[in-house]
Amino acid sequence: MSQTALDDDELFGEAANEIRTDVESSLETAREALPEADDIWTAEAENTLGVLNSLHSVLDTGDAAEHLRDAKKWYTMGERADAFEDADDLREKIEELEEIMDDISTAHEQVGDLASTVPELRGMLDSIEQKDEDEEDTEE
Protein backbone atom coordinates (compact mmCIF):
# COMPACT_ATOMS: atom_id res chain seq x y z
CA MET A 1 0.00 0.00 0.00
CA SER A 2 1.39 3.38 -0.89
CA GLN A 3 2.15 6.15 1.58
CA THR A 4 -0.62 8.25 0.01
CA ALA A 5 -3.20 5.55 0.70
CA LEU A 6 -2.10 5.35 4.32
CA ASP A 7 -2.30 9.11 4.68
CA ASP A 8 -5.76 9.12 3.06
CA ASP A 9 -6.99 6.42 5.45
CA GLU A 10 -5.62 8.32 8.41
CA LEU A 11 -7.20 11.57 7.22
CA PHE A 12 -10.50 9.80 6.64
CA GLY A 13 -10.37 8.38 10.16
CA GLU A 14 -9.72 11.83 11.59
CA ALA A 15 -12.57 13.31 9.54
CA ALA A 16 -14.90 10.54 10.73
CA ASN A 17 -14.01 11.31 14.35
CA GLU A 18 -14.60 15.01 13.76
CA ILE A 19 -17.98 14.32 12.18
CA ARG A 20 -18.98 12.15 15.14
CA THR A 21 -17.85 14.89 17.52
CA ASP A 22 -19.85 17.47 15.56
CA VAL A 23 -22.98 15.30 15.69
CA GLU A 24 -22.59 14.69 19.43
CA SER A 25 -21.94 18.37 20.08
CA SER A 26 -24.99 19.47 18.07
CA LEU A 27 -27.17 16.91 19.87
CA GLU A 28 -25.94 18.15 23.25
CA THR A 29 -26.54 21.78 22.29
CA ALA A 30 -30.03 20.91 21.03
CA ARG A 31 -30.79 19.08 24.27
CA GLU A 32 -29.59 22.03 26.34
CA ALA A 33 -31.84 24.38 24.33
CA LEU A 34 -34.96 22.39 25.26
CA PRO A 35 -37.07 23.61 28.17
CA GLU A 36 -36.39 22.25 31.62
CA ALA A 37 -38.98 19.81 32.97
CA ASP A 38 -39.64 21.96 36.05
CA ASP A 39 -40.24 25.01 33.86
CA ILE A 40 -43.02 23.17 32.06
CA TRP A 41 -44.56 21.85 35.26
CA THR A 42 -44.39 24.96 37.42
CA ALA A 43 -46.05 28.23 36.53
CA GLU A 44 -46.54 31.42 38.47
CA ALA A 45 -49.37 33.56 37.19
CA GLU A 46 -52.39 35.50 38.36
CA ASN A 47 -54.88 33.70 36.13
CA THR A 48 -55.42 30.96 33.58
CA LEU A 49 -54.34 33.11 30.66
CA GLY A 50 -51.12 33.98 32.47
CA VAL A 51 -50.40 30.30 33.05
CA LEU A 52 -51.10 29.50 29.41
CA ASN A 53 -48.92 32.35 28.14
CA SER A 54 -46.12 31.30 30.48
CA LEU A 55 -46.36 27.69 29.33
CA HIS A 56 -46.49 28.78 25.68
CA SER A 57 -43.24 30.69 26.16
CA VAL A 58 -41.56 27.79 27.92
CA LEU A 59 -42.57 25.37 25.16
CA ASP A 60 -40.75 27.42 22.52
CA THR A 61 -37.81 25.21 21.53
CA GLY A 62 -35.80 28.17 20.28
CA ASP A 63 -32.55 27.11 18.66
CA ALA A 64 -32.96 23.43 19.50
CA ALA A 65 -34.47 22.66 16.09
CA GLU A 66 -31.51 24.24 14.29
CA HIS A 67 -29.01 22.30 16.39
CA LEU A 68 -30.91 19.07 15.76
CA ARG A 69 -30.88 19.85 12.05
CA ASP A 70 -27.09 20.29 12.19
CA ALA A 71 -26.73 16.96 14.00
CA LYS A 72 -28.87 15.22 11.39
CA LYS A 73 -26.95 16.85 8.55
CA TRP A 74 -23.55 15.71 9.83
CA TYR A 75 -24.90 12.30 10.80
CA THR A 76 -26.29 11.82 7.27
CA MET A 77 -23.00 12.92 5.76
CA GLY A 78 -21.09 10.46 7.94
CA GLU A 79 -23.49 7.64 7.20
CA ARG A 80 -23.38 8.16 3.44
CA ALA A 81 -19.61 8.32 3.52
CA ASP A 82 -19.60 5.14 5.60
CA ALA A 83 -17.45 7.02 8.09
CA PHE A 84 -18.87 5.48 11.24
CA GLU A 85 -17.96 2.06 12.51
CA ASP A 86 -21.01 2.07 14.76
CA ALA A 87 -23.46 4.95 14.65
CA ASP A 88 -26.53 3.27 16.15
CA ASP A 89 -26.16 5.34 19.31
CA LEU A 90 -26.17 8.57 17.31
CA ARG A 91 -29.21 7.50 15.28
CA GLU A 92 -31.07 6.59 18.48
CA LYS A 93 -30.24 9.93 20.10
CA ILE A 94 -31.38 11.82 17.01
CA GLU A 95 -34.64 9.86 16.84
CA GLU A 96 -35.29 10.36 20.56
CA LEU A 97 -34.66 14.10 20.33
CA GLU A 98 -36.85 14.38 17.22
CA GLU A 99 -39.71 12.66 19.05
CA ILE A 100 -39.35 14.93 22.08
CA MET A 101 -39.22 18.02 19.90
CA ASP A 102 -42.29 16.91 17.94
CA ASP A 103 -44.20 16.47 21.20
CA ILE A 104 -43.05 19.84 22.50
CA SER A 105 -44.00 21.50 19.21
CA THR A 106 -47.45 19.90 19.31
CA ALA A 107 -47.94 21.03 22.91
CA HIS A 108 -46.75 24.55 21.97
CA GLU A 109 -49.39 24.75 19.24
CA GLN A 110 -52.14 23.39 21.49
CA VAL A 111 -51.32 25.80 24.31
CA GLY A 112 -51.23 28.66 21.79
CA ASP A 113 -54.67 27.69 20.53
CA LEU A 114 -56.00 27.43 24.06
CA ALA A 115 -54.44 30.76 25.04
CA SER A 116 -56.31 32.44 22.21
CA THR A 117 -59.57 30.58 22.95
CA VAL A 118 -59.78 31.26 26.69
CA PRO A 119 -60.23 35.04 26.37
CA GLU A 120 -62.91 34.49 23.71
CA LEU A 121 -64.74 32.07 26.01
CA ARG A 122 -64.51 34.51 28.89
CA GLY A 123 -65.92 37.26 26.68
CA MET A 124 -68.84 35.07 25.61
CA LEU A 125 -69.58 34.02 29.19
CA ASP A 126 -69.33 37.65 30.40
CA SER A 127 -71.74 38.65 27.67
CA ILE A 128 -74.26 36.00 28.69
CA GLU A 129 -73.97 36.98 32.35
CA GLN A 130 -74.46 40.63 31.46
CA LYS A 131 -77.58 39.80 29.42
CA ASP A 132 -78.96 37.80 32.35
CA GLU A 133 -78.33 40.70 34.72
CA ASP A 134 -79.94 43.16 32.28
CA GLU A 135 -83.02 40.93 31.97
CA GLU A 136 -83.30 40.68 35.76
CA ASP A 137 -83.06 44.46 36.07
CA THR A 138 -85.82 45.03 33.52
CA GLU A 139 -88.08 42.49 35.21
CA GLU A 140 -87.82 44.29 38.52
Residues 1-46 pLDDT 10s:
455 555 888 888 888 899 999 999 999 999 999 999 999 999 888 9
Residue 104: the pLDDT is: 96
Cβ distance 94 to 24 under 8 Å? no
Give the end-to-end CA distance of the chain in Å, rounded to a whole number.
106
Looking at the predicted structure, is the pLDDT value of residue 133 above 90? no
B/e letters for 62-92, b = 16+ CB within 10 Å, e = fewer, are eebbebbebbbebbeebeeeebbeebeebee
Helical (H) or strand (E) element with 11: helix 3-33
96-114 tens-digit pLDDT: 999 999 999 999 999 999 9
Residue 110: the pLDDT is: 97
39 C-beta neighbours (distance < 10 Å), count:
14
Cβ distance 15 to 83 under 8 Å? yes
Entry field: residues in the chain: 140
Q: What single-letter DSSP state applies at residue 1?
A: -
Please tell me the distance from the alpha carbon of residue 45 to that of residue 31, in angstroms, as a whole number. 27
